[in-house]
Amino acid sequence: MFVFSWGDVGALCQYKARSKIHGDCAAAMLPYSNEHRDVAEQNWVELDKPRQVGNTTGGSRHGVISNYSANPEAVYSFFSLIAIPPVAKLMAMYSWGGVDPGLSCQFLEDGGTAKLDE
């Protein structure tokens, strides 16, 4: 039902030769809110207008946990796993549809921490 993938999955699902979901792909805006949790301050911050995060085809790697989730801890655990540098690097390196790096551990320069020999 859901795809957690790079932002180009909408285009990739149209590739008949490789896509297993060709013809079955659709997108919708991610949910958003007028507040967010400030982890450092341990409080909720109310916003003047909603903060829309991500895009309609991949969420720009911002995971969303629904208030209706039966297992929010499991979802959070999964998001935490794919955010750690070793996994994030593998996800960026081994994509047949292109590389969309988004974390500092995936960049060599401009604040990136990746090493060429990695």
**Structural domain includes residue 117:** no
* pLDDT < 50 regions, the chain: 56-59, 97-99
Q: What is the model's pLDDT at position 65? A: 81
Q: What is the model's pLDDT at position 101? A: 67
Domain that holds residue 54: 9-65
**Structural domain includes residue 99:** no
Q: What is the model's pLDDT at position 98? A: 46
List of residues 6+ apart from 85 with CB closer than 8 A = 103, 105, 113
**Structural domain includes residue 108:** no
**Structural domain includes residue 27:** yes
Q: What is the model's pLDDT at position 71? A: 92
Per the structure, how many domains does the chain have?
Answer: 1
Q: What is the model's pLDDT at position 97? A: 46
Single pTM value for the model: 0.44
Judged on CB neighbours under 10 Å (0-12, 13-18, 19+), 33 is: middle
**Structural domain includes residue 49:** yes
**Structural domain includes residue 110:** no
Alpha helices in 5-107 (DSSP H): 9-12, 72-83, 85-93
